[in-house]
């Protein structure tokens, strides 16, 4: 079921500073900020040869990233995204194996205009997992 690592998402307290350190210090290709109001985040993508990073910053009052940054003021890894070929088949397999899919269990459209689901971190060793239909 599980495919490639699509991205690692890092919550950052200062998007401009984080972007500058990846672009100027590490020499990575870094996108402009993109607001995703439905996910409560502003994202910047960092393109690496074999995968991407997503720098996440809270957007709006209900942002899931705001609480994370309260607990981790310096930022930290927020989630890891794996690709799957069929998100509905993946969801059904996970649920039948007793894993918890967050929200109402229906895929939403993620940062790359593709369907995504999130899995409960307690079912995966404390790691929030995003599945994206590739």
Binding site for Co ion (CB under 5 A): 9, 81, 130
User: Residue 19 to residues 25, 45, 47, 78, 79: CA-CA distances in angstroms?
Assistant: 10, 9, 12, 16, 18
Q: How far is the CB of 117 from Co ion (least distance, A)?
A: 11
State the Cα torsion 94-97-99-101 to the nearest 10°: 40
Report whether 84 contacts 1 (CB < 8 A).
Answer: yes
Q: How far is the CB of 21 from Co ion (least distance, A)?
A: 20
- Whether 62 is catalytic: no
Nearer to Co ion, 83 or 130 (CB): 130
The enclosing H or E element of 44 equals: strand 41-47
54, 83, 130, 132: which one is catalytic?
Answer: 130
> ∠ at Cα 100 (77, 114), nearest 5°?
65
Q: How far is the CB of 130 from Co ion (least distance, A)?
A: 5
Nearer to Co ion, 28 or 80 (CB): 80
Which sign does the torsion angle of CA 114, 64, 127, 78 carry? positive
Catalytic residues: 130
């Amino acid at each position: 079921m599980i495919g490639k690592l699509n991205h690692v998402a890092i919550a950052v307290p200062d998007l401009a500073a984080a972007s500058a350190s990846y672009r100027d210090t590490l020499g990575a290709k870094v996108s402009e900020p993109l607001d995703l109001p439905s996910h409560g985040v502003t994202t910047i993508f960092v393109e690496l040869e074999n995968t991407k990073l997503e720098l996440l910053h809270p957007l709006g009052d209900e942002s899931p990233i705001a609480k994370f940054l309260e607990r981790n003021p310096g930022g930290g890894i927020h989630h890891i995204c794996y690709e799957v070929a069929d998100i509905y088949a993946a969801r059904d397999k996970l649920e039948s194996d007793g894993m918890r899919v967050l929200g109402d269990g229906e895929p939403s459209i993620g940062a790359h205009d593709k369907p995504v689901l999130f899995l409960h971190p307690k079912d995966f060793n404390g790691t929030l997992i995003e599945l994206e239909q590739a």
